Amino acid sequence: MSIAVVAKKIGMTTMYDEQGIAHAVTLLSHADQQHVVSHKTNEKDGYQAVQISAGPKKKKPSKALKAHSAKANVEPTRKLYECRVDSLEGLELGNEVTLNVMSEWTHVDVVGQSKGKGFAGVMKAHNFAGQRATHGVSLAHRKPGSSGQCQDPGRIFPGKKMARRLGNEQKTMQSLKIMQIDHEGKVFAVKGSIPGPRGGYVLIKKALKKNRRES
């Protein structure tokens, strides 16, 4: 696995390919102040990875974050991500992570935090059909209905789809095609939608499944 890139979501638009077919794409900008700040090794941590700092500088960083960033001689930032890599060669502490990392990529996996939508019922959270609007149904049109059994076993099994908090979860969109990269403007477009609001930060990785298929 290669190093990942941190990006900021701009929004969605429409882009046309060479055949004139319209595609919904998401525009992303390369995050500022993006550097390698720490290494994870097999000997010490049991796996091999790098930590990447990105985004605007943190106004009031903690002493621990200051010391952590000082090891790489960089300023503490608001975002800190980690990604696994095959080799730490060429990824020294303090190295800047640029958009050139994606030059040979064709598809990417995007990891982000989905929008939080608060507490939601079963119709919104799980796409339940709901109960009848007539024929004796009174004040229960959007309720889930029967959720358990009778005396045996007389309980609700774990994993039952019920009302819950919706959103605000880490989501990964896999094998999204890179439509265009503007290295000068530090902006690129990927096909489809990605999790999170406009202005939110996401982690861009080289597509894992797509590369396995092509190889």
Phi, psi torsion values for 42, nearest 5 degrees: -65, -35
In this prediction, residue 215 has a pLDDT band, given cuts at 50, 70 and 90, of very low
For residue 1, pLDDT over 90 is answered with no
What is the tens place of the pLDDT at every residue in 51-67? 999 999 888 999 999 99
b/e per residue, 3-35, with b = 16+ CB within 10 A?
bbbbbbbeeeeeeeeeeeeeeebbbbebbebbb
For residue 149, pLDDT over 90 is answered with no
In this prediction, residue 150 has a pLDDT band, given cuts at 50, 70 and 90, of confident
For residue 134, pLDDT over 50 is answered with yes
Per-residue model confidence (pLDDT) at position 90: 87
Is-contact 80 37, C-beta < 8 A?
yes
Average pLDDT over residues 89-106: 91
What is the rounded average pLDDT for all residues in the chain? Answer: 92
Q: The tokens of 193 are what?
A: 């939608």
Average pLDDT over residues 88-107: 91
For residue 41, pLDDT over 50 is answered with yes
For residue 211, pLDDT over 80 is answered with no
In this prediction, residue 35 has a pLDDT band, given cuts at 50, 70 and 90, of very high
What is the tens place of the pLDDT at every residue in 163-175? 999 999 999 999 9
Q: For residues 1 and 91, which has the higher predicted lDDT (pLDDT)?
A: 91
For residue 187, pLDDT over 80 is answered with yes
Is 205 strand, coil or helix?
A: strand
- The pTM of the full predicted model, rounded to 2 decimals, is 0.86
Ordered structural domains, the chain, with CATH: 5-116+169-214 (2.40.30.10), 118-166 (no CATH)
The neighbour count for residue 36, using CB atoms within 10 Å, is 22
In this prediction, residue 214 has a pLDDT band, given cuts at 50, 70 and 90, of low
For residue 15, pLDDT over 90 is answered with yes
164-166/118-120 β-pairing? antiparallel
